[in-house]
Amino acid sequence: QVQLVESGGGLVQSGGSLRLSCVASGITFSVSTMGWYRQAPGKQRERVAFIFNTRTTFYADSVKGRFAIFRDNAKNTVYLQMNSLKPEDTAVYYCNNGNHWGQGTQVTVSS
C-alpha cells in the first residue's frame, strides 16, 4: 500500500520560512520522481517543484529562487524548503509520486 505523508506546514509571517517533509512508503523511492503541488482556496492545484531520481529539479516560476526541493533516499523522504514566504504562497501543499497523493499540509502566510 502506497502512502505519502506530509508534515511541516503551519502559520508563518511574510518573509518567514518553513520546511515541508513527505515520507513515502510502498514505493521504490530512490527511482521515483517526487513532486510538490499546492492548491489555494478557489484555485486549481498547481505544480510547485519536482525532483527526479537523478536529483535534477524543476521549479514553478513563482517560487524560483525562494523554494528548494531535495531528497534523502535513505529516509524515503522529499523536502520542500520554503524561504521568503509571501501571502500568495498560502495553500494546502501536497506530495505526489506521479500516481499517488498525500493528504496535504496547510501553509498559511500572514501579511
Average pLDDT per 10 consecutive residues for the chain, totaling 111 residues: 97 98 96 97 96 96 98 98 98 96 97 93
Q: What's residue 20's pLDDT?
A: 98
Q: What's residue 81's pLDDT?
A: 98
Q: What is the per-residue DSSP string for the chain?
A: --EEEEE--EEEETT--EEEEEEEESS-GGG--EEEEEE-TTS--EEEEEE-TT--EEE-TTTTTTEEEEEEGGGTEEEEEE-S--GGG-EEEEEE-SS-B---EEEEEE-
